[in-house]
Amino acid sequence: MSKVQQLEREVERLSPQDFDELASWIEARRQKAWTDQMERDSAGGKLDLLFEEADAERAAGTLHDWPPREK
Protein backbone atom coordinates (compact mmCIF):
# COMPACT_ATOMS: atom_id res chain seq x y z
CA MET A 1 0.00 0.00 0.00
CA SER A 2 1.37 3.40 -0.96
CA LYS A 3 1.85 6.22 1.49
CA VAL A 4 -0.95 8.15 -0.22
CA GLN A 5 -3.32 5.21 0.15
CA GLN A 6 -2.42 4.99 3.84
CA LEU A 7 -3.12 8.69 4.27
CA GLU A 8 -6.43 8.35 2.44
CA ARG A 9 -7.50 5.65 4.88
CA GLU A 10 -6.55 7.84 7.83
CA VAL A 11 -8.38 10.84 6.39
CA GLU A 12 -11.53 8.73 6.03
CA ARG A 13 -11.44 8.19 9.81
CA LEU A 14 -11.24 11.88 10.71
CA SER A 15 -14.07 13.69 12.43
CA PRO A 16 -15.77 16.35 10.32
CA GLN A 17 -14.02 19.07 12.35
CA ASP A 18 -10.59 17.47 11.91
CA PHE A 19 -11.27 16.92 8.21
CA ASP A 20 -12.12 20.61 7.76
CA GLU A 21 -8.96 21.61 9.63
CA LEU A 22 -6.85 19.35 7.42
CA ALA A 23 -8.55 20.60 4.26
CA SER A 24 -7.85 24.21 5.27
CA TRP A 25 -4.21 23.38 5.94
CA ILE A 26 -3.83 21.64 2.57
CA GLU A 27 -5.46 24.54 0.72
CA ALA A 28 -3.19 27.07 2.46
CA ARG A 29 -0.16 24.98 1.55
CA ARG A 30 -1.28 24.73 -2.09
CA GLN A 31 -1.82 28.49 -2.25
CA LYS A 32 1.64 29.15 -0.81
CA ALA A 33 3.22 26.76 -3.31
CA TRP A 34 1.42 28.52 -6.17
CA THR A 35 2.48 31.95 -4.93
CA ASP A 36 6.08 30.80 -4.48
CA GLN A 37 6.11 29.37 -8.03
CA MET A 38 4.70 32.59 -9.50
CA GLU A 39 7.35 34.61 -7.66
CA ARG A 40 10.12 32.33 -8.98
CA ASP A 41 8.72 32.51 -12.51
CA SER A 42 8.44 36.28 -12.34
CA ALA A 43 11.94 36.71 -10.93
CA GLY A 44 13.29 34.36 -13.61
CA GLY A 45 11.71 36.35 -16.43
CA LYS A 46 9.21 33.67 -17.42
CA LEU A 47 6.32 36.14 -17.20
CA ASP A 48 8.04 39.01 -19.02
CA LEU A 49 6.20 38.27 -22.27
CA LEU A 50 2.86 38.59 -20.48
CA PHE A 51 3.89 41.89 -18.89
CA GLU A 52 5.05 43.19 -22.27
CA GLU A 53 1.75 42.18 -23.89
CA ALA A 54 -0.20 43.93 -21.14
CA ASP A 55 1.92 47.08 -21.51
CA ALA A 56 1.32 47.08 -25.28
CA GLU A 57 -2.44 46.62 -24.82
CA ARG A 58 -2.50 49.38 -22.20
CA ALA A 59 -0.65 51.73 -24.59
CA ALA A 60 -3.08 50.83 -27.40
CA GLY A 61 -6.10 51.33 -25.13
CA THR A 62 -7.24 47.73 -25.57
CA LEU A 63 -6.39 46.36 -22.12
CA HIS A 64 -9.50 45.08 -20.32
CA ASP A 65 -10.14 44.00 -16.75
CA TRP A 66 -10.24 40.29 -16.05
CA PRO A 67 -12.65 39.05 -15.14
CA PRO A 68 -14.74 41.60 -16.99
CA ARG A 69 -16.66 43.95 -14.74
CA GLU A 70 -20.41 43.55 -14.72
CA LYS A 71 -22.30 46.63 -15.84
When pLDDT is averaged across residues 51-58 and rounded to a whole number, the result is 94
Distance from C-alpha of 48 to C-alpha of 46, rounded to nearest angstrom = 6
Q: What are the residue ranges spanned by the domains of the chain?
A: 3-46
Distance from C-alpha of 45 to C-alpha of 53, rounded to nearest angstrom = 14
Contact, 35 vs 29, CB < 8 A? no
**Whether residue 33 has pLDDT greater than 90:** yes
When pLDDT is averaged across residues 13-28 and rounded to a whole number, the result is 98
**Whether residue 71 has pLDDT greater than 90:** no
Q: pLDDT band at residue 69, thresholds of 50, 70 and 90?
A: confident
